[in-house]
Structure 1
Amino acid sequence: MIPAARVAAAIEILTDIEERRRPAAESIKDWGIAHRFAGSGDRSAIASLIYDALRRKASSAWIMGEAGARASVIGALKQLRDQSGVDIARLFTGEGHAPPPLSAGEQDRLENGVLDDAPAHVRGDYPEWLSAAFEASFGAAAADEGRALAERAPVDLRVNALKGDRDKALASLAHLSPQPTPFSPVGLRIAITAEGRGPALAAEPAYAKGLVEVQDEGSQLAALLSGAAPGAQVLDLCAGAGGKSLALAAMMNNQGQIYATDSDGRRLMPIFDRLERAGVRNVQVRAPKGPRDILSDLARRCDLVFVDAPCSGSGAWRRNPDAKWRMRPGALEQRIKNQKETLQQAAQFVKPGGRLLYVTCSLLRAENEDQIDAFLGEHADFLPVGAAHLARSAGLPALAAQASKLGVGLRLSPLQTATDGFYIAALARS
């Protein structure tokens, strides 16, 4: 497909996403099935442009003076692809499979449209209904933090210490030009292409053999801050596909025991193949079994309970920009309710002297500091671990600068640490 045809396809799919309120991945997949002539390179390029358009949906609508799929794509080409008005006009000729030519109004907005007078939620490209939540979390920096969440994310990898060290991984992946991550001692970062595409890691021996796992540096840091040590008894309460369990197992050198569970057993399915590939032997997967209590034997026995809590996912908008526009106030309220319930559940498994680590991939205060403040108010036997002490004890003293100014814990964000957005709080049981 010629570039102009890819642009037209992106507009068509975005229109379907907006009109039918569908997840982007579903619309992209269905389009590919219906257009078999499009090769894998075409489909990848079209998907990349769609996600770029979703990243800057609000600011593009402001610049172009109108909302809609066409305006979103034009705005993405201008803002994230750094294409000039002349370059964009060459893609909008109306000839063959190209989209219709730019109107005089569109040409004018491309040349003169700016964000100087736009409100914070437009400059930051987040939903207007979240304006109060962003202001509560970031104050005057709300638009800047939102803008950073609307950038593309690099590909971050975690080196599996059970299979080798970072030097070995650097050598194995040298053709991809990886760089060590700034904070994590086991992280690698690979830049994406100008079109927003990453490497095909599934074809890399280092990945296939378990030397590296895809994991954002922020997620790596959350695991490292847990302090999981060889021989410990650890409960990964919201294990999902197992990324944190794998990181903890490597920290523990396969010694001790990790119990990986999740309220939704379907989310656990990928963990089995990942454990085998990574050479992990100390993870016991406990899938839900109807009304049966599968964790009763762990009450007050765990040195560490790791809670990667269900959340809005606002910290991962760089990787999933579709999610921020599909998010609704009712869903946020439900997440906050689920977090409170999960914290209450987690507390019963922490032994005296043990630790509860609460983690979200959210940057909203209501899901983070406010949750921990409420929990501590109801549990006098838990005390917060100071952010500076937590960072130093994990061998990550530079992270002390990321201590939250809103309460207990640490905050990571694309703007401040070049990671996904994460909140991490450690609570010790007396």
Structure 2
Amino acid sequence: MTPAARLAAAIELIDTIDAQRVPAAKALKEWGTAHRYAGSGDRAAISGLIWDVLRRQSSSAYLMDDDSARARVLGMLHLERGMDVDAIAALCDGGRFAPSPLTDAERSALTSRSLQGAPAHIAGDYPEWLDPYLAKVFGDDRVPEATAMASRAPLDLRVNTLKTSRDKMLPRLKHLGAKETPWSPLGLRIELGADARNVGIHAEEDFVKGGIEVQDEGSQLAALFSAAKPGEQVIDLCAGAGGKTLALAAMMQGKGRLIATDRDKRQLAPIHERLSRAGVHNCDVRTPKGDSDPLSDIKGSADLVVIDAPCTGTGTWRRNPDAKWRMRPGALECG
């Protein structure tokens, strides 16, 4: 597929998502099934366009003064990808499989309009009802804070110090463009371009052998801030799939007792295989059964309890941008 054909497909898909109110991932999967001729590169590029439109949905519509699927795609190309009107017009030439040529109104919007004076929720690309909450926390900084959540997230990895070190891993992952994370001393970061395919990190030898794990830098820092020490009894109370459990285990250097549990036992399903791959031998995974308390025998004996409680999911907006538009006020209510 040509870049113009990919753009036309993205406009069609945004129309489908709007009309049928389906999650973007579902629409993309169904489109791929119906268009077998599209290669993996085509699907990655179209997915990138869709996610970028969802990330910059409000600001793109504002820029174009038009809320249609086509307008939001064109506005995104200018705001998120930095394309000028001539570059966009070259894609929209009306040729075979390409979008129709730019109208005078579209050209005018792309050359004369900006986000200057736009309301905060539009400039920051988040639901309007969230504005009072973000204003309370961030004040005038809420637009740059929200804008930072409106671009594609990098792939962050945590080096498993039970098996290796960051200095050893850095050259081994050079072929993926890995660099040190700015804050976590255990992290490596792989930046992903707008059209880049997802990195097949799970097929990398160092992942298979447990030398690295996928984990956002923020989660790495949360584990590090707990200051878990070797020889302690540590409880990961909302362990989920075990990302922070693995980080805590490495901090404890295999010494002491690490207990992982979660109220939702389904979330614990991947943890056993991950612990085994990482070489963790001092972790006791306790799966809840019925109404019984899986920690009843150790009350009052822990040196450290880590609680990463279920939340609104706002931290996932960079990877799952349609989630912020499906979020409702009730999500902020505390039980």
The TM-score, its normalising length taken from structure 2, stands at 0.95
- Identity within the alignment, %: 56
Opposite residue 59 of structure 1, the aligned amino acid is: S
Structure 2, unaligned stretches of length 5 or more?
A: none
Which digits, 9 at most, give the CA deviation of each residue in 1:350-409, with x for residues without a partner?
xxxxxxxxxxxxxxxxxxxxxxxxxxxxxxxxxxxxxxxxxxxxxxxxxxxxxxxxxxxx
Matched, 1:100 2:76: no
Which digits, 9 at most, give the CA deviation of each residue in 1:66-95, with x for residues without a partner?
113222211221122221212112222333
Matched, 1:258 2:258: yes
Larger relative contact order (CA 8 Å, sep ≥ 6): 2
Contact 1:191 1:198 in 2 (8 A): no
- The 5 Å alignment of 1:382-393 reads none
Which digits, 9 at most, give the CA deviation of each residue in 1:143-182, with x for residues without a partner?
1111111122222111000110011101211222322122
Contact 1:209 1:278 in 2 (8 A): yes
Q: For the residues of structure 2 that align with 1:92 and 1:159, how far apart are their CA atoms?
A: 45
Q: Could you say which residue in structure 2 is the equivalent of 1:47?
A: 47
- The 5 Å alignment of 1:359-378 reads none
Q: Please provide the CA RMSD for this pair.
A: 1.7
Which digits, 9 at most, give the CA deviation of each residue in 1:225-248, with x for residues without a partner?
001111222221211111110111
Q: Could you say which residue in structure 1 is the equivalent of 2:139?
A: 139
Indicate the SS of the match to 1:302. coil
Indicate the SS of the match to 1:285. strand
Opposite residue 3 of structure 2, the aligned amino acid is: P
Q: For the residues of structure 1 that align with 2:142 and 2:24, how far apart are their CA atoms?
A: 26
Change (3 A) 1:332 1:23: farther
Query: What displacement does 1:196 show?
Result: 4.9
Query: What displacement does 1:96 show?
Result: 2.4
Change (3 A) 1:16 1:302: farther
Contact 1:81 1:195 in 2 (8 A): no
- The 5 Å alignment of 1:69-80 reads 69-80=69-80
Q: Could you say which residue in structure 1 is the equivalent of 2:190?
A: 190
The TM-score, its normalising length taken from structure 1, stands at 0.74
Query: What displacement does 1:272 show?
Result: 2.1
Change (3 A) 1:65 1:199: same
Contact 1:155 1:214 in 2 (8 A): yes
Query: What displacement does 1:287 show?
Result: 2.2
Q: Which protein has the bigger strand share? A: 1
Q: Could you say which residue in structure 2 is the equivalent of 1:218?
A: 218
Query: What displacement does 1:194 show?
Result: 4.8
Q: For the residues of structure 2 that align with 1:33 and 1:152, how far apart are their CA atoms?
A: 25
Q: Could you say which residue in structure 1 is the equivalent of 2:179?
A: 179
Structure 1, unaligned stretches of length 5 or more?
A: 338-430
Q: For the residues of structure 2 that align with 1:193 and 1:205, how far apart are their CA atoms?
A: 24
Q: For the residues of structure 2 that align with 1:303 and 1:255, how far apart are their CA atoms?
A: 13
Contact 2:230 2:251 in 1 (8 A): yes
- The 5 Å alignment of 1:160-179 reads 160-179=160-179
Matched, 1:128 2:128: yes
Change (3 A) 1:68 1:277: farther
Q: Could you say which residue in structure 1 is the equivalent of 2:16?
A: 16
Indicate the SS of the match to 1:18. helix
Alignment size in residue pairs: 335
Query: What displacement does 1:302 show?
Result: 1.6
Q: For the residues of structure 2 that align with 1:68 and 1:296, how far apart are their CA atoms?
A: 56
Q: Could you say which residue in structure 1 is the equivalent of 2:88?
A: 88
Q: Could you say which residue in structure 2 is the equivalent of 1:352?
A: none
Q: Could you say which residue in structure 1 is the equivalent of 2:276?
A: 276
Query: What displacement does 1:105 show?
Result: 1.1
